[in-house]
Structure 1
Amino acid sequence: MTRIVYYTAATLNGFLADSNHSLDWLFAVDDAEGPDIGAFMDAMGVFVEGSSTYEWVLKAENLLAEPHKWQQYYGAKPTYVFTSRILPVPEGADVRFVSGAVADVLEEIKAAAGELDVWVVGGGDLAGQFLDVGALDELFITLAPAALVSGAPLLPRKVGADRLTLRSASQQGQFAVLNYEVLNPDVFVVPGAGAAGEDAGEPQ
């Protein structure tokens, strides 16, 4: 069964990026013995990103000028980007732009993954929208030895211990890796839950 997984690196105090959307704090960490992201990606059939995450990846990896890098990272697997804007696409990349509520495209995303899983790459609000509709199954959080005073939060939602069960905790180099199972009710409705678009604030 296809599972939806939120895998991300965060600071000790729960930020994904600083107030300037920079990941300099993460790149400063020695990751020689860090998590094996390649093995994780092999188990994923679809990648899901918010618009800010997608734009950051394009810029940080210079993917528009060097589109061959996209194949190295993502291969032929589709990437769904939640946005209501028109954004550029690297040549040869399978990027599918969607807008509106996560629930509206959930079945399409899962079908595209086939027998593999779905990776919610980021940001935290988009992962929160999957959580809102009871569609997020698992969390992998790699905590780095760093802290920020402000920035993009890991998961901007109120989540109680009744929703999360710790499956494993391990040290991988400088990172502490926490894996949580998300406990979802059969029917989960969030009154007034926002859609994933500019009117509700695009997911990061």
Structure 2
Amino acid sequence: MGEIIFDAAVTLNGYLADENHSLGWLFEIPGAGEPDPDLLPSNVAVHVEGSHTYQWLLENEDLLAHPEKWQQYYPGVVTYVFTTRDLPVPQGADVRFVSGDLAAVLPQIREVAGEKNIWVLGGGELLGQFLDLDALDTLAMTVAPAAVRGGAALLPRNIGSDRLELVQAKQAGPFARLVYRIKR
């Protein structure tokens, strides 16, 4: 079985997105549009994300008008989107909409991933559910030199230092890269 990895960019003050569900703050930072591929999770079979993350990606990358970008960015990756809304799917993309409790869907997600990794892209509440189930293996953050007034918090939960083991802290251009293993 592969690992379940949460990996996302976050502001200095702990937000994944601003109050308008936008990641625009991130792409104002030089180099943010072309991240170091060595920083991204490898051997990924499944993405898991919330509807705001998915919708922002669709709109920001214009994926409905240019579905070939989806294949370029996510070749062979199945995407699970937790939502209660009807959302469009780029042509040729394997996007599966689910709702409700993560615990009910997690066995299916693990089965689809097989021996490969599962990359949780956001949001914070979804991350919290993975932690609640003790299903997360790695928490990775690329901390940006930016702050926003409010928005989607990285983690709307308490998590004690007894559950986190720092395994990497390094500079990545103007960013700080932090990687924690989750202790069971």
TM-score grouping bracket, smaller chain normalisation: over 0.9
Count of residues in Structure 1 that have an aligned counterpart in Structure 2: 184
Report matched runs for 1:12-161 at 5 Å: 12-31=12-31, 35-37=35-37, 40-161=40-161
Question: How much does 1:136 deviate?
Answer: 1.0
State the distance in 2 between where 1:175 and 1:31 align. Answer: 10
Question: How much does 1:102 deviate?
Answer: 0.6
Change (3 A) 1:39 1:141: closer
Change (3 A) 1:33 1:60: closer
State the distance in 1 between where 2:95 and 2:46 align. Answer: 10
* Per-residue CA distance 1:13-41 (angstroms, 9 max, x = gap): 10111111222211111127974247735
Change (3 A) 1:58 1:35: closer
Secondary structure of the structure 2 residue equivalent to 1:12: coil
Aligned to 2:4: 4
Q: Does 1:179 align with 2:179?
A: yes
State the distance in 2 between where 1:33 and 1:173 align. Answer: 12
Question: How much does 1:68 deviate?
Answer: 0.6
Question: How much does 1:148 deviate?
Answer: 1.5
Q: Which amino acid is 1:166 matched to?
A: L
TM-score by length of 1: 0.85
TM-score by length of 2: 0.94
Change (3 A) 1:66 1:34: closer
Question: How much does 1:116 deviate?
Answer: 1.1
Unmatched 5+ residue regions in structure 1?
A: 185-204
CA contact (8 A) 2:48 2:120 kept: yes
* Per-residue CA distance 1:137-187 (angstroms, 9 max, x = gap): 111100011112211111111111111110110111011000001112xxx
Secondary structure of the structure 1 residue equivalent to 2:120: strand
* Per-residue CA distance 1:22-78 (angstroms, 9 max, x = gap): 222111111279742477354211000111111111111111111111001111210
State the distance in 2 between where 1:73 and 1:33 align. Answer: 13
Unmatched 5+ residue regions in structure 2?
A: none
Secondary structure of the structure 2 residue equivalent to 1:162: helix
Secondary structure of the structure 1 residue equivalent to 2:46: strand
CA contact (8 A) 1:34 1:172 kept: no
